[in-house]
Amino acid sequence: MKFLKIWRTFKEGLKNFSRHWWLSFATIIILTLSLYVVSVAALLGIAANSIIKNIQDKINISVYFNPEVSEKEILKIKDDLKIYQEIKSVEYISQNQALDEFVASENNDPIINQALEEIDENPLLSSLVITAHNPNQYEIIAQAVEGSGFRDKINQINYEKNKATIENLNKIVGLTEKAGLILGTIFLLIAVLITFNTIRLNMYSRKKEFEIMRLVGASNLYVQMPSIFEGIFYGICAAVSAMAFLLITARLIAPLTKGALQEGDLLSFCFQYFWIIFAGIIMLGIILGMVSSFIAIRRYLKI
Amino acid sequence: MIKFEKVSKVFLGDFVALENINLLIKKGEFVSIVGHSGAGKTTLLKLIYAEEQPTSGKVYFKDRDVSTIKKKHVPYFRRNIGMVFQDFKLLSEKTVFENVAYALEVAGKSNQEISEEVPGILDIVGLSNKMEKYPEQLSGGEQQKVSMARALIHCPSVIIADEPTGNLDPTSSWEIVQLLIKINGMGTTVILATHDKEVVNKANKRVVVLEKGKIASDIKKGKYTV
């Protein structure tokens, strides 16, 4: 019996959806715009976070050791440093490795090669490259290294040089998170209000129909169900179109984000998380459509 | 069957629609409620099918106080009452068949039951050849017959007709009243609110006259005297 009623109201909803196609079309456009704005805001937020993470991973501080300190000693210090919770990884760069990297970074410039040959010894120092879990922990790490027992073996810590960059990044991270949250909430509220109003107008145009249904003995739920299904159909259609627009947007912005994301660019990011993003938009669309219909129709049911 | 006990209804702005109404309608009766516009006829009917609640007094339907029916149970209660309105209240996007079938669908009747019962009732009102038409393709009289078929489909114990002939020509009006009399003959209680003099006189049944919210007269086999 219950299944029969659900099936009937589902069919009724589908009929209303196609019969009032112009109204459905208008509602879907508004819902698509709302979903698009919210998902673009969310996508940019996630992408910005990923970009920042990517930059964070590239930030580190190097501790250079005096030439007379042996590799064995440095490796012992490396093990000691690993105890700190704040430290994510410590990498040992030997003098030779440093030289190879330097030469490679200068694209085997013949002038530099010649200069190195003239010096006849490796002018670079062995170092430990420390990466922290969080960029705001570098200061503590730098202080810890400065105050450690092996301070006299250290030639230089490049923290001061990177300090400004690290602090700036910290600020940007904080700001993006806050701005993303505030903007996202505002967009979501606007989306909810616009969608709700559109569906309310849609329901208003059919209030006489609801009154008749009630008088004929239909329970409130029976009158509401077709509209709730309609809301779900709006949500699904709008989510599919919003997803299409989102991919087009990602494709347009993709060249700007090349290399900034671990996933490559924004478009590959979208494709990698396609199902998660799509599921999110569909869920939001269905909830928006369904809840708006449910609330809008209650007015005409004297509940 | 239906009893009004000292019923008054006051709307916002102290507009008194009904004042101290005492009325008893027995099972199988045909009662015409007559009076000028604004006399309180529609309000009286609305109190029976729980669309309005009395400000004071009690309305009983089959010994049950209507005001004690919970809101969520009102739709089920209404399936005991067939309702016919002046503006027909048909769903314009449904065919004649679908309009009548809807009343059964909401009650959870199976498709088989619906396909058996609907043509039968449409035959009684004389519309079996117009089942697939939409309301706008029918005349006023035919639309009212669809509305009556819908009201009858549950085999209700009471039919409430609120100005059913208000939008119809005299011939169609008489057809509708004849149909009501026929239904009444089968044992269904009929309550007809109207200000159509012809209709009341031809029916020659009990007449309750309402004036400014009060019962002015109640005559067993009456004529329209307002």
Asked if residue B116 has pLDDT above 80, the reply is: yes
B161-199 residue pLDDT tens = 999 998 888 888 988 999 999 999 989 999 999 988 888
Q: Which residue has the higher pLDDT, B159 or A265?
A: B159
pLDDT given at position B14: 86
Instruction: Indicate yes or no: CB of B71 within 8 angstroms of CB of A303.
Output: yes
Q: Which residue has the higher pLDDT, A66 or B59?
A: B59
Buried b (16+ CB within 10 A) or exposed e, A181-217: eebbeebbeebbebbbebbeebbeebeebbbbbbbbb
pLDDT given at position A161: 65
CATH class entry, domain B27-39+75-219: alpha beta
Whether complex ipTM tops 0.90: no
Residues of B in contact with A302 (CB under 8 A): 71
Determine the average pLDDT of the residues in B73-100. 91
Determine the average pLDDT of the residues in A180-184. 80
What pLDDT band is residue A240 in, cutting at 50, 70 and 90? very high
pLDDT given at position B185: 92
Instruction: Please tell me whether residue A205 adopts helix, strand or coil conformation.
Output: coil
The answer to whether residues A157 and A146 touch, using CB atoms and an 8 Å cutoff, is yes
Asked if residue A274 has pLDDT above 80, the reply is: yes
CA-CA distances (angstroms) from residue B103 to A218, A223, A227, B11?
7, 12, 18, 31
DSSP result, B129-165: GGTT--GGGS-HHHHHHHHHHHHHTT--SEEEEESTT
Largest distance between two CA atoms of chain A: 102
Determine the average pLDDT of the residues in B201-224. 87
pLDDT given at position B48: 95
Asked if residue A1 has pLDDT above 60, the reply is: no
pLDDT given at position B134: 96
B86-98 residue pLDDT tens = 999 999 989 999 9
Determine the average pLDDT of the residues in A101-109. 78
A209 closest CB neighbour out of B72, B76, B91: B91
Residues on B contacting A at a C-beta cutoff of 8 Å: 49, 51, 71-72, 75-76, 78-79, 83, 89-91, 93, 102-103, 105-108, 110, 150, 154
Cα separation, A190 vs A37, in Å, equals 10
The answer to whether residues B6 and B23 touch, using CB atoms and an 8 Å cutoff, is no
Asked if residue A136 has pLDDT above 80, the reply is: no
What pLDDT band is residue B225 in, cutting at 50, 70 and 90? low
Tell me the percentage of chain A whose pLDDT exceeds 70: 96
Determine the average pLDDT of the residues in B199-213. 90
CA-CA distances (angstroms) from residue A159 to A142, A153, B128?
7, 17, 93
All structural domains of chain A, each given as residue ranges with its CATH number in brackets, are: 2-55+169-301 (no CATH), 58-162 (3.30.70.3040)
pLDDT given at position B24: 95
Any B CB within 8 A of A19 CB: yes
The answer to whether residues A162 and A171 touch, using CB atoms and an 8 Å cutoff, is no
pLDDT given at position A72: 87
pLDDT given at position A30: 87
- Tell me the shortest Cα–Cα distance from B221 to chain A, in angstroms: 31
- Tell me the shortest Cα–Cα distance from A252 to chain B, in angstroms: 45
pLDDT given at position B206: 94
What pTM, to 2 d.p., does this model score?
0.71
Strand partners, B210: B215
Asked if residue B141 has pLDDT above 60, the reply is: yes
* Interface test with chain B among A216, A224, A303, by most B beta carbons within 10 Å: A216
Residues 6+ apart with CB under 8 A from A203: A210, A227, A293, A296, A297, A299, A300
Cα separation, A215 vs B84, in Å, equals 10
Phi, psi of A174 (to 5 degrees): -60, -45
Instruction: Indicate yes or no: CB of B91 within 8 angstroms of CB of A212.
Output: yes
Which two three-digit tokens encode residue B152?
Answer: 């009858």
What pLDDT band is residue A146 in, cutting at 50, 70 and 90? confident
B209, B141, B223, B151: which is closest to B175 by C-alpha? Answer: B141
Any B CB within 8 A of A3 CB: no
pLDDT given at position A116: 77
Closest chain B residue to A214, measured at CA: B75
Which ranges of A107-156 does DSSP label H, i.e. alpha helix?
110-119, 138-146
pLDDT given at position B40: 92
Mean pLDDT, chain A, rounded, equals 83
